[in-house]
Structure 1
Amino acid sequence: MTTYSEIKERLNIKIDRHLNDGFAALTHYWQNHTNGVSQYFKPSAKEYLQKEILSTVEDSEQLYIPFKFDVPFPPKTDFKFRFIDLFAGIGGIRLAYQNVGGKCVFTSEWNNFAKKTYEANFGEVPYGDITGINENDIPDHDVLLAGFPCQPFSIAGVSKKNALGRKHGFLDETQGTLFFDIARIIEKKKPKAFMLENVKNLVSHDKGKTFKVIRNTLTELGYSIYYQVLDAKHFVPQHRERIIIVGFRNEFFKKNESFEFPKLPKSKAKIKNILETDIDPKYTLSDKLWNYLQDYAAKHKAKGNGFGFGLTDLEGISRTMSARYYKDGAEILIPQENSNPRRLTPRECARLQGFPDKFIIPVSNNQAYKQFGNSVAVPLIQAVAKQLAKTLEENGK
């Protein structure tokens, strides 16, 4: 059977030139042409194919012909529920929910480098900036998923509220933030459930006011809310605390859902178990950088601060990896005998977040460090996903 890669080659689709909403519509149509939501993507997919693609090839193509997705994580054909993946990054949350029987029917991500990684692994290009996507153009779904950025909240003016035709209330307090886009989609599409992921400090941000607005908004939209700070160290060798917010629609569940956050297993992960062998010397810190990091740490230690590099215990776990890891690797350094320490390789970063080794890394090292630093710990999200899916199955009949 023809493959996804062969179709792209036949249509002369060079992915770096096609990370746009036109190709997003086409890949979304290809992944959903038989599951009842294809009408959301067909018009844009057809227009894009005819105007932007077919003019570059000799023969005309049908909008869809049977082919096999030759990507590491192809779309589900037999699924238990449908979900959408917002602020998708490189697809860590999607991967977790696919693994428990979910089918992704829509995805959005603004960063083109992340889109490239997402497409390489899932065979689908996310739509772009969520603020420009009309909620009416998003397919119906059972679960909304979002690892949304935390921004300062501002209260919109009455005139703007009136212009948008929205009632005054908590939903309007989130205008000007990306959480507002989650709220407006939930308000319109009314999914049975949602899961949101954010940094631990969301709970205490602005003396708790930010989280209060978020919680009140979601409650006002008709959902029972559950939240908990969970540490990925129970699944991967990394101390990584994140708040997980789960909601269930009262109109559907009647407040009778039986949801519990997963009981986390005893942490047995060790950093040594994710390390590669035969490491390229380029990952070893130069004398200049290593001396700088040591001097920097000594200076702050003298002041009573805890700032400084993290030389990781190979029998233990690491600090939290962040998107700044590409700068110097200081937060997670691997000791080496008779040599300066080294930073993790991109593949080791992937493993640190629980991505399987078949996950493709098609971008530069610097971009890969940013992407994995911004991503989620897949096994932790999957543990939550399993509980959410169980609740849907038990209470959603």
Structure 2
Amino acid sequence: MTSGFPTFVDFFAGSGLVTQGAQHACTPVWSNDICPKKAAIYTANHGTGHFHQDSIENVNGSTIPQGDIVWASFPCQDLSLAGKMGGLAASRSGLFWEWLRVLDEMPERPKVIALENVTGLLSSNGGEDYRLLHKALRARSYRIGPMVIDARHWLPQSRPRVFVVAVQEHFDATDHEDLGPNWLHSDSVTQVITSLEGSVFWSMPFPKNRPKKLSEIIDWEVPVFDEAKTEQLLSIIAARHTSRLKSIPKSQRAVFPGYRRTRNGKQVLELRFDNISGCLRTAEGGSSRQFLILHEKGKWTARLITTREAARLMGAPDSYQLAANYNEAYSAMGDAVAVPVVKHLAEHLLAPLAKLSKSYAKRSRKESARIRLSA
């Protein structure tokens, strides 16, 4: 690590993909999560030195090392369309308020805050949940800017997420702002922040590199289901999708990811045809594991997506250590934040804002000293 990097605190750290993405521009000094299975993955990859396994309800902010940047991927279950949409008043997503309590206990509030959650945060309870979050940060003298960023700009996975970046209001950050919406701001963002005091349209460069296709990152040599199980899966493919599969040339190697869904009382396998994965999720979030329908040399086969492929879809390197148990490893990836999205945010917005804040603080101290000397 470079000692000049801003310090980074990671709440609800899960399996460590936020730390993985941020560490190139920040120095992690403290992370926490309650789940022992995810904690095992985190510490296997990032060590035990700065990791604190416990519930956020038991964390005292006064004991946490000073973080220039504080990140919190607070639970999404009550904000997700796959959940019960209880919002910030419910037990899981309501842990946001416990995190806020910890923030208030810190000897010095962080210069920059980054919050991550599902896009349902913007629409839950008619947008009231986001407005409550925004006003809570505003009451603590932050300027706040929500963004919707899809991991598909870097990876072959459709994964839109809300990222709320807040910065202390006392310094000028206009070099990192736009006058109006840009590629980071969906209609849902612009609608929910209308008339909210202290709102910011953050600016970042659009990613340049073309993402790989799903067919380029999967392991074609992985064992597949037996013929009977493959036929059973093929038999429940949605009719409109079956006709598209029949049009695939025999010479074409292709992969079609899909989830099982219940439609009109019947189970169907709904596929994607754009060579990218559907959003990785966890069974706890109300969604099943993702299947792959594979076509090669005129033959159709099927299997589950592997945990290593799931990690690749999150941008984790192949060296990233995962749990041996399939469900644990798959859930850890499905509940994480895509590495290159965090890396982009850290490099182009979070670290620059933190450094700008430090520069402002130095100028303020010099100005105060000058005034005292001249008095």
- Identify the range of structure 1 (183-192 vs 195-204) with the bigger mean alpha-carbon deviation: 183-192
Match of 2:271 among 308, 311, 330: 311
**What does residue 73 of structure 2 align with?**
147
Bigger share in helix: 1
Distance 1:327 1:79, change over 3 A: same
Instruction: Give the CA deviation at 1:81.
Output: 0.9
- The residue matched to 2:343 in structure 1 has which SS? helix
Residue 119 (structure 2) pairs with residue 200 (structure 1): yes
Distance 1:381 1:310, change over 3 A: farther
8 Å CA contact 2:281, 2:289 repeated in 1: no
Distance 1:342 1:262, change over 3 A: farther
Q: Give the partner amino acid of 1:295.
A: I
Instruction: Give the CA deviation at 1:224.
Output: 0.4
Distance 1:272 1:138, change over 3 A: same
Instruction: Give the CA deviation at 1:146.
Output: 1.0
Q: Distance in 2 between matches of 1:187 and 1:326?
A: 30
Query: Cα deviations across residues 225-244 of structure 1 (Å, max 9, x unaligned)?
Result: 01111111000001110000
**What does residue 132 of structure 1 align with?**
58
Query: Cα deviations across residues 31-88 of structure 1 (Å, max 9, x unaligned)?
Result: xxxxxxxxxxxxxxxxxxxxxxxxxxxxxxxxxxxxxxxxxxxxx3634111111000
Q: Give the partner amino acid of 1:321.
A: L
**What does residue 221 of structure 2 align with?**
278
Report sequence identity in percent: 27
**What does residue 344 of structure 1 align with?**
305
Residue 367 (structure 2) pairs with residue 373 (structure 1): no
Instruction: Give the CA deviation at 1:347.
Output: 0.7
**What does residue 168 of structure 2 align with?**
249
Q: Distance in 2 between matches of 1:182 and 1:285?
A: 48
Match of 2:207 among 243, 265, 283: 265
**What does residue 52 of structure 1 align with?**
none
Distance 1:175 1:348, change over 3 A: closer
Query: Cα deviations across residues 286-344 of structure 1 (Å, max 9, x unaligned)?
Result: 734762674384698975x998434354x721211111399996545242443432221
Q: Distance in 1 between matches of 2:228 and 2:66?
A: 56
Taking structure 1 as the reference length, the TM-score comes to 0.67
Q: Give the partner amino acid of 1:91.
A: G
Distance 1:344 1:317, change over 3 A: same
- The residue matched to 1:242 in structure 2 has which SS? strand
**What does residue 295 of structure 1 align with?**
236
Query: Cα deviations across residues 234-284 of structure 1 (Å, max 9, x unaligned)?
Result: 000011100000000124x25656353433336543001211242134xx3
**What does residue 18 of structure 2 align with?**
93
Residue 47 (structure 2) pairs with residue 123 (structure 1): yes
Query: Cα deviations across residues 154-184 of structure 1 (Å, max 9, x unaligned)?
Result: 77xxxxxxxxxxxxxxxxx999921012212
Taking structure 2 as the reference length, the TM-score comes to 0.71
Q: CA RMSD in A?
A: 3.3
8 Å CA contact 1:297, 1:309 repeated in 2: yes
Distance 1:227 1:294, change over 3 A: farther
Instruction: Give the CA deviation at 1:196.
Output: 0.6
Q: Give the partner amino acid of 2:304.
A: R
8 Å CA contact 1:224, 1:255 repeated in 2: no
8 Å CA contact 2:230, 2:302 repeated in 1: no
Q: Distance in 1 between matches of 2:227 and 2:99?
A: 44
Bigger share in strand: 2
Query: Cα deviations across residues 356-377 of structure 1 (Å, max 9, x unaligned)?
Result: 1111113311111101110111
- The residue matched to 2:128 in structure 1 has which SS? helix
Q: Distance in 2 between matches of 1:175 and 1:87?
A: 12
**What does residue 35 of structure 2 align with?**
111
Residue 161 (structure 2) pairs with residue 228 (structure 1): no
Gap regions ≥5 residues in structure 2? 79-85, 178-201, 240-259, 360-375
Q: Distance in 1 between matches of 2:124 and 2:156?
A: 27
Q: Distance in 2 between matches of 1:88 and 1:226?
A: 22
Q: Give the partner amino acid of 1:263.
A: P
Distance 1:272 1:288, change over 3 A: closer
**What does residue 335 of structure 1 align with?**
294
- The residue matched to 1:126 in structure 2 has which SS? strand
- The residue matched to 2:8 in structure 1 has which SS? strand
8 Å CA contact 1:121, 1:360 repeated in 2: yes
Q: Give the partner amino acid of 1:209.
A: E
Q: Give the partner amino acid of 1:270.
A: K
Q: Distance in 2 between matches of 1:306 and 1:232?
A: 31
8 Å CA contact 2:111, 2:357 repeated in 1: no
